[in-house]
């Protein structure tokens, strides 16, 4: 959730650690948000420039725009007998 809230590398939008901590502090607590950001930096999923602006370095996210689920229902007669 925190990762997806960070703007993409190619985006004009910018954010910083303080803004992200404030945005998610009600849900996770500021300390937890800052530790998540540190973990994302260690894994090189985000980049921080000299001004402290954070951007997401994940061109493969999101995986999809929509999610579909298909359910297959079989009658008992369609099941193989054991």
- pLDDT single digits (tens) 12-53: 888 999 999 999 989 989 999 999 999 999 999 999 888 889
Largest CA distance in the chain: 67
pLDDT higher than 80, residue 56? yes
> Tokens for 29?
């607590």
The one-character DSSP state at 1 is: -
> pLDDT at position 41, please?
92
Q: What is the mean pLDDT of residues 3-8?
A: 88
Q: How many Cβ atoms from other residues are within 10 Å of residue 24's Cβ? A: 19
> pLDDT at position 40, please?
93
Q: What is the pLDDT confidence band of residue 82, given thresholds at 50, 70 and 90?
A: low
> pLDDT at position 10, please?
83
Question: In angstroms, rounded to a whole number, what is the distance separating the alpha carbons of residues 78 and 1?
Answer: 42
């Amino acid at each position: 959730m925190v990762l997806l809230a960070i703007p993409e590398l190619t985006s004009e939008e910018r954010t910083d650690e303080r803004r992200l901590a404030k945005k998610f502090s009600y849900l996770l607590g500021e300390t937890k948000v800052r530790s998540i950001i540190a973990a994302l930096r260690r894994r090189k999923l985000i980049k921080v420039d000299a001004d402290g602006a954070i951007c997401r370095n994940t061109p493969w996210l999101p995986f999809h725009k929509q999610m579909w689920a298909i359910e297959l229902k079989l009658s008992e007669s369609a099941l193989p007998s054991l």
